[in-house]
Amino acid sequence: MKKLRSVIRVGLKSNFGLAVLRHRIFKEKKDRWLVPLIGVAFLGLAPTLYGYLALMKTFYRGLLPLGQQHLILTFGILAGQIFVLIFGLYYVMSAFYFSKDLDILIPLPLNPFQVMFSKFAVILVNEYLTIAFFVLPVLVYYGILSKAGLPYWLDALVIYLMLPVIPLAIVSLLVIGMMRAVNLSRKKDALIIVGSLVLIMLGMGLQYVSRRTVSASPDPQAMLRFLTNPDGLVQRFGSAFPPSIWASKALAGGFSARGFTNLFLFIGVSLLIFCGILVISEKLFYRGLIGIGEVSGKKKAISKEGISRKLSSGRRPIGAIFAREWRIMTRTPIFLLNGVLVVVIVPMIFVIMAETGSGRGDNAFLLRIMTSAKPIYVILAAACFLTFCSCLNGTSSSTFSREGGQFWMSKVIPVTPKEQVIAKFLHSYFIALLGIVVASGVAIFVIHLKAVVFAGAFLISLTAAVALTVVGMIIDLARPLLDWTNPQKAIKQNLNVLLSMLADIGILTVLGFFSIFLIKRGIGGGGLFAALLGILILLSYASFHFLLKFANKRYVEIEV
Amino acid sequence: MIELRHVSKSYNKGKVKAVDDLDLVIQPGEIFGFLGPNGAGKTTTIKLIVGLLKPDSGAVTINGLDNQKEALRCKAMTTYVPDYPAVYERLTGLEYLNFIGDVYGVAKKDRIERIEKWLEIFDLSQAVSSPIQSYSHGMRQKIVLMAALLPAPRVMVWDEPMVGLDPRASFHLKEIMREHCDQGKTLFFSTHIMEVAEKLCDRIGIINKGKLIACGSMDELKKLNHEQQESLENIFLELTEK
């Protein structure tokens, strides 16, 4: 037990680096500017939070007469658990199999389950932070709206702490099984990518099936049952992931027999499944882990002709750096999954939501709205969608951080910071473009956008992507995270990626308000389009110009 | 030629002086060995020379050019080998060498000729098409050394280049070092292997606590020593024990 406690403590300390952050902020006084910046970033989220709370209030009032107001809790908890189920994969895989400290932990006299437990704890804390954005407002606001007493708040605390356990344990089981199989092969990296995609698809497929079942129109009698039974709607929507039903009932029930039964059911199943994982990990964890980092070379001497063929006849430095960025990104599974594949997966999630969440009838409804509304509104909405899909990946905002311990090379090679940054921009923008293209496919084939509308949206998103890519790069250049040992830290756990996403949302929100302002002033569709495009071009130009100047300064300042 | 004029560098807002008023000139054609205990300031000095660190005061010039003001021109004639071979693991050895060839602008003919030669010398032909990730520490060191030799630089700054190399590779490397400097190139390298420094270097500098405490040829160092020690190891131990 003592060993377990100590390995968990070390794991948490080294992953969250509070000591390092404290040292940087209070001793070295380096990252002080981050504190107000994060404060401002969170303030920027205030309008979104306000909208979220207003929506909840409306739902709450609508459901109150039916006595089914706790459906809101089901939605919040379900969203959190599904999120962990789909995206927990990245965390689990990199923490269990790709953190460099495993090389230190494996030779220690620890049982595999103890090592896994410590990694699980790290991911759990990560998940608390991640799901806080959308689960905490639900729990807190529901408590306020329902004027809940102490039992609710205690239950809410326990449920929040236990919430990621079941989905994370399921993901861990799948990943441990997958990695055991992957480790038997020589093509480990390729299998990891394929396996992860299969798991993500499986998760989304399950979602698709369960949501279709839920959204299929029930007969009127069944509908009546859902509405009259106090837990009818909770059961119906929560069926996608039953633990969310138990958690909602436990919260709604408080300290009653019903509340306790469901709370114990939720906690009991969570603990049971977690213990199951520990038992399995004792047998399978190390078998999948030991040797996963080994790469076997071809061990075949290359001929003189082979060398001559493979050596380029002199690429320009920008081309060489672009090729390097591309190769490293696509050959590092964590980078590939978080950078390139995210831009493919995010639009797919929209497809599933469009196909199931609203049902086919609603799709037709959406289409009607889209075609009846003023074209400029549709262009703006579609542009926002394309931009969102292209820029919500961490490629640009981790472009310097991803170099990690190899940044020394970028400092010693005889290539100007300007050229290096241009190559990095082209690489990040290329991936953003990939996102725009995939999202365009969704816009054309699922939402059936008109050609002219699509062209307008495409043009705006192409320009917006330049500005947002550059903003991400500026943020990463300001404070690159170079001392990572686990590639996950460079992209998934990099604060720059979060800051950049907040900045992107902030910029898009400001542009949204600006559009509303212009519309209220009576500006026409064409005028608004031109104004937005003009602003985006200016913003892109100015930010790119700043990035190049900033790079000249930062490449000298960053010491490695 | 490498020239350091009153170079100082400190960490933690001046609390730790890593390099203290260092004055040093390394002439073309010279192999200069840089010795010192752990934490004496060797790696910091090397990083200052190649521009990885910026001096707090003083200046570093490479063939007469200030390495801060004329950074790009200095970089174009200098190559660096770090104390740990941290290179792009996901690239193959050949892709990495090709990248270096591209950024230093090495002509294709020269690239092929040099790479073929060193692949044979360092016995890397079988591994060069595999990802660097699959290399042992010594193989990584060899690929970093090959990359440092590929542009045929006028100035080479290497931090413990022998670490991890097998005896054969070490032997060949020493020959290559001598050969390059005989062509008028400058080599500045740090090492903990006294024998290598003693036999290979034209001049040796010993740094301790950020200060250069001795500098000169082997004969000059022997004269500096009060107890008339014969071996470099003994001279080093005596000079650095205070």
Give the start-to-end residue ranges of the domains of chain B. 2-240
A82 and A174 in a single domain? The answer is yes
- Output the pLDDT for position A472: 95
- In the stretch 77-136 of chain B, residues with CB closer than 8 A to chain A read 78-80, 82, 86-88, 90-91, 94-95, 97-108, 111-112, 115-116, 119, 125-131, 133-135
CB contact under 8 A, B98 and A295: no
- With contacts defined as CB-CB under 8 Å, which chain A residues touch B47? 559
CB atoms within 10 A of CB B118: 22
CB contact under 8 A, B102 and A296: no
- Output the pLDDT for position A359: 45
**Which residue among B12, B88, B133 sits closest to A406, beta carbon to beta carbon?**
B88
**A405 domain residue, yes or no:** yes
* Element counts in chain A: helices (H) and strands (E): 26, 0
- With contacts defined as CB-CB under 8 Å, which chain A residues touch B51? 411-412
- In the stretch 130-169 of chain B, residues with CB closer than 8 A to chain A read 130-131, 133-135
pTM of the model: 0.80
A416 at interface of B, judged by CB pairs closer than 8 A:
yes
**Which residue among A297, A311, A405 sits closest to B86, beta carbon to beta carbon?**
A405
pLDDT 10s digits, A297-354: 666 777 878 888 888 767 899 999 999 999 999 988 888 888 888 888 878 777 766 6
CB contact under 8 A, B116 and A412: no
CB contact under 8 A, A556 and B107: no
- In the stretch 451-480 of chain A, residues with CB closer than 8 A to chain B read none
In chain A, which stretches have pLDDT less than 70?
A: 17-34, 37, 41, 44, 184-188, 206-240, 291-299, 313, 352-373
- With contacts defined as CB-CB under 8 Å, which chain A residues touch B104? 413-414
Using an 8 Å Cβ cutoff, are B83 and A278 in contact? no
How far is the first Cα of chain B from the last one, in angstroms, to the nearest whole number? 32
Structural domain count, chain A: 2
User: Of A463-472, B136-145, B222-231, which range is least confident?
Assistant: B222-231
- At residue B80 the predicted structure's pLDDT band, cuts being 50, 70 and 90, is very high
- Output the pLDDT for position B209: 92
B210 at interface of A, judged by CB pairs closer than 8 A:
no
- Output the pLDDT for position A346: 78
A233 and A353 in a single domain? The answer is no
- At residue B223 the predicted structure's pLDDT band, cuts being 50, 70 and 90, is confident
- At residue B207 the predicted structure's pLDDT band, cuts being 50, 70 and 90, is very high
The interface predicted TM-score of the complex, written ipTM, equals 0.91
A385 and A444 in a single domain? The answer is yes
A23 at interface of B, judged by CB pairs closer than 8 A:
no
CB contact under 8 A, A408 and B90: no
A438 and A541 in a single domain? The answer is yes
Torsion of CA B182, B186, B188, B194, to 10 degrees: 10
A262 and A366 in a single domain? The answer is no
Instruction: Give residue A469's domain range.
Output: 317-557
Backbone angles phi, psi at A447, to 5 degrees: -90, -10
**Which residue among A312, A327, A414 sits closest to B72, beta carbon to beta carbon?**
A414
Q: Which two tokens stand for residue A261?
A: 């039964």
Rounded Cα gap, residues B138 and A292, in angstroms? 21
Compute CA distances B88 → A108, A306, B25, B80, B85, whole Å. 29, 21, 33, 15, 10
- Output the pLDDT for position A449: 78
A243 and A326 in a single domain? The answer is no
- Pairing between strand B16-26 and B2-11? antiparallel
- Chain A residue with minimum CA distance to B12: A28
A186 at interface of B, judged by CB pairs closer than 8 A:
no
For B27-93, list the strands marked E by DSSP.
Answer: 31-35, 57-62, 65-66, 78-81
> Is CATH 3.40.50.300 the classification given to domain B2-240?
yes
pLDDT 10s digits, B36-59: 999 999 999 999 999 999 999 999
A194 and A69 in a single domain? The answer is yes
